[in-house]
Amino acid sequence: MSEYTGYKGRSLEFLKSNNVSVGDSVKITADLTFLGIIMPRYEHSDDKHVVLKLNNGYNIGLELDKITKIEKISSSEKTVESQPKIEENPSLPKILLLSTGGTIASKVDYRTGAVTPILSAEELNSSVPELSKLANIDTEVLFSEYSENIMPDHWLQIANKLVEFSKSNYSGIIIAHGTDTMHYTSSFLSFALAGFPIPIVLVGSQRSSDRASSDAALNLIGATRFLVECKSNGVYVVMHHDESDETISCHLGTRVRKNHTSKRSAFETIGNSPAFVITGDKIQKNVEGNYFKINEFTPKVSLDTKVALVKYYPGYNAELLDKIIDMDYRAIIFEGTGLGHIGKVLYESVKKAHEKGVFLGMTSQCIDGRVGMTVYESGRDLLNLGIVPLENMIPEVALVKAMWVLGNSNDKEEIKNLMLENIASEIS
Amino acid sequence: MSEYTGYKGRSLEFLKSNNVSVGDSVKITADLTFLGIIMPRYEHSDDKHVVLKLNNGYNIGLELDKITKIEKISSSEKTVESQPKIEENPSLPKILLLSTGGTIASKVDYRTGAVTPILSAEELNSSVPELSKLANIDTEVLFSEYSENIMPDHWLQIANKLVEFSKSNYSGIIIAHGTDTMHYTSSFLSFALAGFPIPIVLVGSQRSSDRASSDAALNLIGATRFLVECKSNGVYVVMHHDESDETISCHLGTRVRKNHTSKRSAFETIGNSPAFVITGDKIQKNVEGNYFKINEFTPKVSLDTKVALVKYYPGYNAELLDKIIDMDYRAIIFEGTGLGHIGKVLYESVKKAHEKGVFLGMTSQCIDGRVGMTVYESGRDLLNLGIVPLENMIPEVALVKAMWVLGNSNDKEEIKNLMLENIASEIS
């Protein structure tokens, strides 16, 4: 990103002539006085405004014609502050924090456009001092990706890294992860590492750590407390419970979904309360039984991405499904309507897929609730066509599970059995 | 459906030898005594059981080996009962009920496998006598389809039929509809009939009317009361509010989604309370302003189905998107992650689509919340590639709206403007 990204014409001229560039802290006098950071703009923006990120985190566009004065307070160049060295406390448990990127692991990423991992042990402890009272935290930066760019290959990388620590003396492992696809990653880890002997927690934040409303610190503290105090094996997603700063939810990693674009409490357990809810000193447990239905840990870290998630809707063209079949996909997970239906227009294509040996699984775009394919004639037709109803598995989880199953089996019967076996609480 | 659908081998033999077939009411003696109706089975079923629908609505499988006796109580042949003729009450408002199929319009459909419309005025009033005290209801059966088989062509049929009644003396129109895709239909009607001068209500039921837990009657009464008492123009979906039998929700037809496969309160307004909530005599109004943002009614009943809804997920193959572009789709609505992101792996394809003139709209698979594409670098990249953020439009609604917009315009700029114009409360 250049120092004038997105600025052009008059606005570019304005910045240059005032010796100000993207990322600089400035004071602008217009009808009011504004303090903030010059933000980059996008290509199609006009040339009549500059955009400022205010200290409260909001962006505003200021019209050039109304600006009477602009003063640079500080430039965007980084100042390296020396961090105090944290002493290990031998009476506290050890935790590993793996960073994969995302908002939680980035410092003012919107300021320079770059994702800068900040989670060295020192920086972490210095920015969230409460952590050092709970555990001795080692950190490692695995990679730095926004979660929309995390691919199945990254899942494999994370899982293989975790396997290395399955016999370590860590009490638990925290994975800092972008929130967009955190629930896809938690699902894969749940299947690939079924039976993993120590708890794994994915944690993210919806607002970056330099915003007043950031949830990064509380989520990290919550994740650490969960590991130290609950000692519950499994793969969990730990995030804000509601809009307060007091309560943390620990969701089963195969029963959770990001259900809001921006709220700090965006993550929800589907069809149930979160497995654990932490408010102050109180931990409420809402779940019974083990997360993993398999006790022995024998990692199966492989997958095959030849799985398509097909969301049915009125007007869905059977030709689209035919293309998927022609591309030799090995499994299709339908997001059907209601109890698990798709229109008759797709029956011929479904038949063709079944004859070709494609695994066909049914989930519901309702997201919550169980598919029930014996209630209506349509459902019974689809059963006859070879579609397998996947209970109440969340569509995204069924997709990830199918990738994992196909990576571990070529046998049609085994594939079906694995899809229906409850491995990591994905069926409830 | 044959009279022995799904039965084979021993179980078929058993039914035949006892002169009993699917749909018959029987009394079966096994370890206990069961009263119910013989249900059809699906092709892959075993031949060791018969399935009985008990009077409480549940299905059970009974093992042949444990059955000591089976007696036919009555056969499935229909007896035509004469219905009392309802007298019109001139002091009450007139309402039209259009039936399109679905659970609400079918009588024991699972019994014979056939969808039998029961909504003649007489049958309706006889099965829900409360209705005749609220309004004089005329009925018309438009077609009989389960909603997973309702196609965009059916939307046109319904809309054209409604246009005929725009200048009638009806106080409102009820559309009985299967629940699976009711919210897709309500969206289309909202756009095609923007400004429609009398209120339209879609109503369905999650449990068929012969089950003790049926919601059909209460939903119909709720829909009628809403039309008569609220007099609020727009397109609404009226269903159970919760699991009680006391409260009815009236949802804005462009802000509603089926969020549970089986619960009677499956429909929810996204990101808000339902527009109206009716409990007993009390009607709570939660919405301000008009449903239609256009006052004049000039129906635009046309559409183009060359729109694809693309849900992004880790591992989504860019080739799938390329196929859609090659098939000359005119619009692609993305269900991105989080604030409206898709992985970098799709950038090249998106660029190609944009250059080809395909309309590219962004919604979020989070379903709730607004897309925000200027917050992160990924979002800004996508804006630069020509993707249009569609505010907080629900993905399914954005899909239907795009079909409607393309059916009414060929102009790129106009298409974009219409997609962003709030026509029927689809943006909130």
Q: How high is the ipTM of this complex?
A: 0.84
Q: Is the pLDDT of residue B109 over 50?
A: no
What would the pLDDT profile of B373-425 be if each residue is shown by its tens digit?
887 778 888 999 999 999 999 999 999 999 999 999 999 999 999 999 999 99
A298 in B contact zone (CB under 8 Å): no
Q: Which two tokens stand for residue B255?
A: 């802000």
What would the pLDDT profile of B182-221 be if each residue is shown by its tens digit?
999 999 999 999 999 999 999 999 876 656 677 888 899 9
Catalytic residue among A179, A181, A185, A247: A179
What mean pLDDT comes out for the span A109-138?
Answer: 68
Decide if A368 is catalytic. Answer: no
Residue in A180, A303, A341, A351 to test binding to B, most B beta-carbons within 10 Å: A180
Q: Is the pLDDT of residue B82 over 80?
A: no
* Higher per-residue confidence, B145 vs B314: B314
Structural contact between residues B421 and B194, judged by C-beta atoms closer than 8 angstroms: no
What would the pLDDT profile of A60-77 be if each residue is shown by its tens digit?
788 899 999 999 888 865
Structural contact between residues A170 and A128, judged by C-beta atoms closer than 8 angstroms: no
Q: Is the pLDDT of residue B260 over 60?
A: yes
What mean pLDDT comes out for the span A38-48?
Answer: 76
Grouping H, G, I as helix, E, B as strand and the rest as coil, residue A221 is: helix
- Pick from A181, A261, A403: CB nearest B372: A261
CA distance B198 to B235: 9
CA distance B379 to A197: 38
A326 in B contact zone (CB under 8 Å): no
Sheet bearing B247-252, strands edge to edge: B136-141, B94-99, B172-176, B200-203, B235-240, B247-252, B276-279, B282-285
pLDDT of residue A110: 46
A123-137, A237-251, A349-363 — which is least confidently predicted? A123-137
CA distance A122 to A118: 9
* Higher per-residue confidence, A380 vs A338: A338
What mean pLDDT comes out for the span A375-384?
Answer: 86
CB under 8 Å to B370, separation ≥6 — which residues?
A261, A262, B391, B392
pLDDT of residue B84: 55
pLDDT of residue A79: 43
Q: Is the pLDDT of residue B119 over 60?
A: no
What mean pLDDT comes out for the span B96-123?
Answer: 65
Out of A3-7, B107-111, B236-240, give the one with best mean pLDDT: B236-240
Cβ-based contacts of A372 with chain B (< 8 Å): 261-262
| Cβ separation B372–A262 shorter than 8 A | yes
Structural contact between residues B111 and B37, judged by C-beta atoms closer than 8 angstroms: yes
Grouping H, G, I as helix, E, B as strand and the rest as coil, residue B149 is: helix
- Pick from A343, A345, A396: CB nearest B313: A396
Q: Give the nearest chain A residue to B345 (CA atoms).
A: A149
Structural contact between residues B381 and A43, judged by C-beta atoms closer than 8 angstroms: no
> Which residues of B have a catalytic role annotated?
103, 179-180, 258
Q: Name the architecture of domain B9-74.
A: Roll (2.30)
Q: Is the pLDDT of residue B124 over 80?
A: no
What would the pLDDT profile of B273-318 be if each residue is shown by its tens digit?
999 999 988 999 999 999 999 889 999 999 999 999 999 999 999 9
Confidence label for A379 from pLDDT (cuts 50, 70 and 90): confident
Q: Is the pLDDT of residue A86 over 50?
A: yes
Q: Name the architecture of domain B94-285.
A: 3-Layer(aba) Sandwich (3.40)
DSSP result, A306-324 = -EEEEE--TT--HHHHHHH
| Cβ separation B380–A337 shorter than 8 A | no
Residue in A313, A334, A400 to test binding to B, most B beta-carbons within 10 Å: A313
Hunting for tokens 């109890």 — which residue is that?
A: A339
Q: Rg of chain A's alpha carbons, rounded to an integer? A: 25
CA distance B205 to B119: 14
* Higher per-residue confidence, A52 vs B173: B173
* Higher per-residue confidence, A239 vs A377: A239
* Higher per-residue confidence, A252 vs A4: A252
Determine the length of chain A: 428
Structural contact between residues A55 and A3, judged by C-beta atoms closer than 8 angstroms: no
Grouping H, G, I as helix, E, B as strand and the rest as coil, residue B340 is: coil
Confidence label for B114 from pLDDT (cuts 50, 70 and 90): very low
Cβ-based contacts of A260 with chain B (< 8 Å): 366, 368-369
A413 in B contact zone (CB under 8 Å): no
**If one looks up domain A307-420 in CATH, what number appears?**
3.40.50.40
| Cβ separation B369–A262 shorter than 8 A | yes
pLDDT of residue B384: 92
* Higher per-residue confidence, A89 vs B153: B153
What mean pLDDT comes out for the span A85-99?
Answer: 88
Q: Give the nearest chain A residue to B155 (CA atoms).
A: A314
Q: Number of CB pairs < 8 Å for A and B? A: 203
| Cβ separation A378–B336 shorter than 8 A | no
What mean pLDDT comes out for the span B118-127?
Answer: 64
| Cβ separation B149–A336 shorter than 8 A | no
Decide if A179 is catalytic. Answer: yes
Residue B195 region, left (φ>0) first, then alpha (ψ -120 to 50), else beta? left
Cβ-based contacts of B181 with chain A (< 8 Å): 313-314, 337
CB atoms within 10 A of CB B138: 16
| Cβ separation B345–A151 shorter than 8 A | yes
Please report the residues numbered 174 through 193 in chain B whose beta carbons come closer than 8 angstroms to any beta carbon of chain A. Answer: 179-181, 184-185
Q: Give the nearest chain B residue to A341 (CA atoms).
A: B148
- Choose among B404, B411, B416: nearest CA to B189: B404
A162-171, A254-263, B22-31, B283-292 — which is least confidently predicted? B22-31
B9-74 and B307-420: same fold? no
How close is the nearest chain A Cα to the Cα of B176, in Å?
Answer: 17
Helices (H), A32-141: 109-112, 121-127, 131-134
Cβ-based contacts of B309 with chain A (< 8 Å): 311, 313
A103-107, A354-358, B168-172, B204-208 — which is least confidently predicted? A103-107
Confidence label for A112 from pLDDT (cuts 50, 70 and 90): very low
Decide if A322 is catalytic. Answer: no
- Pick from B113, B312, B369: CB nearest A377: B113
Cβ-based contacts of A324 with chain B (< 8 Å): 320
Q: Give the nearest chain B residue to A150 (CA atoms).
A: B314
| Cβ separation A366–B259 shorter than 8 A | yes
What angle in degrees, to the nearest 10, is found between the helix axes of A152-164 and A182-192?
Answer: 50
| Cβ separation A262–B370 shorter than 8 A | yes
Backbone angles phi, psi at A257, to 5 degrees: -150, 145
Q: Structural domain boundaries of chain A?
A: 9-74, 94-285, 307-420
What mean pLDDT comes out for the span A165-180?
Answer: 95
Please report the residues numbered 347 through 366 in chain B whose beta carbons come closer than 8 angstroms to any beta carbon of chain A. Answer: 364-366
Cβ-based contacts of A364 with chain B (< 8 Å): 261
- Choose among A411, A406, A393: nearest CA to A329: A406
B345 in A contact zone (CB under 8 Å): yes
Q: Give the nearest chain A residue to B366 (CA atoms).
A: A259
pLDDT of residue A115: 45
- Choose among A196, A237, A396, A378: nearest CA to B106: A378
Decide if A116 is catalytic. Answer: no
A151 in B contact zone (CB under 8 Å): yes
Strand partners, A240: A248
A337 in B contact zone (CB under 8 Å): yes
Grouping H, G, I as helix, E, B as strand and the rest as coil, residue A26 is: strand
CB under 8 Å to A80, separation ≥6 — which residues?
none
